[in-house]
Amino acid sequence: MATKAAHKRLTREFANLAQNPPDYITAHPSESNILEWHYILTGPPDTPYHHGQYWGSLVFPPDYPFAPPAIRMHTPSGRFRCSERLCLSISDFHPKSFNPAWEVTTILLGVLSFMTSEEMTTGSVSASDTQRKALAASTRWWNSTGGGTTSRTLGGPQKEQSSNSRGFGAIKGGDGGKRFHEQWPEEDEENWKWIEEHKIDPQTGKCLVPAPQPSCSPEANALRKRAGGSNAGLGAVVEGGQAARDAGQGWLTRHWAKMALAAVFIYVLAARVMSDVKA
């Protein structure tokens, strides 16, 4: 339970955040516990996360602001491990370095800044820009379907989902999108409109519109190109890895047959020249 001082401080910070939201960041406390906050980072332009919808949580200690929160990101990003605590100077990994003057806005700006860097720490992962762009394209689908575990179908009504999550920070893909819907009902509704509009299969995350059709947005086109399978995160990484391999094959690999014929021709020509010289 939050102390009186922590409750007052977090209430004031929420009001400030609502009045002056920073770019690419939105956040609010849970209705049931002011110590549990949920945030969404929108991928900034000129980054591989552009247009991505990255949902995460902050869990504050009862004595905040004299101790930092636990920070997690739940949406697959290619930058952080899903739902694992992040080791940052503004997180609970480093309570002695936390400044009580830092606010929720400061913390989330720090998370966004770290996300768009390449610095490594506990909870972070390495991935190519191709992989991260593929994951960014699937974020809205992943958030609202729980990674494809929803029982909802295109054109079908929303169904009550069960959740396999327990306690703060225990959010995983597998709850059918229930936890995201609980915390972000308006964003969830918009996500489902997007899924319906672009004919995204809720269970696989793949675009069902045939390739010649131009109706899919760039994000939906990226989903169409993903490798087959129902695991969005894995499919996006596989597709991204394949694209990277294709890009690295080079001219020689693509034109090996022509090179072989040229080598035979040169060999025959050289043999004839040598035969003429001996004669």
Sheet holding 70-73, edge to edge: 25-29, 36-42, 53-59, 70-73
3-class state of residue 234 by DSSP? helix
pLDDT for the residue numbered 250: 47
What are the structure tokens assigned to 180, written together? 């995201």
Give the homologous superfamily in CATH for domain 4-115.
Ubiquitin Conjugating Enzyme (3.10.110.10)
Q: 204 with 195: CB under 8 angstroms?
A: no
The residues spanned by each domain of the chain are 4-115, 129-247, 252-279
Residues catalogued as catalytic? 87
Q: pTM for the complete prediction? A: 0.76
What are the structure tokens assigned to 188, written together? 């969830």
d(C-alpha 244, C-alpha 257), whole Å: 23
- Count of beta carbons in the 10 Å neighbourhood of residue 153: 11
Query: For 123, left (φ over 0), alpha (ψ -120 to 50), or beta?
Result: left
pLDDT for the residue numbered 242: 41
pLDDT tens for the chain, residues 1 to 279: 899 999 999 999 999 999 999 999 999 999 999 999 999 999 999 999 999 999 999 999 999 999 999 999 999 999 999 999 999 999 999 999 999 999 999 999 999 999 999 999 999 999 999 999 999 999 999 999 999 999 999 987 766 555 444 455 556 668 899 999 999 999 999 999 999 999 999 999 999 876 655 556 666 666 655 544 434 444 443 344 343 334 334 444 455 556 666 666 666 666 665 665 555
- Count of beta carbons in the 10 Å neighbourhood of residue 257: 8
pLDDT for the residue numbered 156: 73
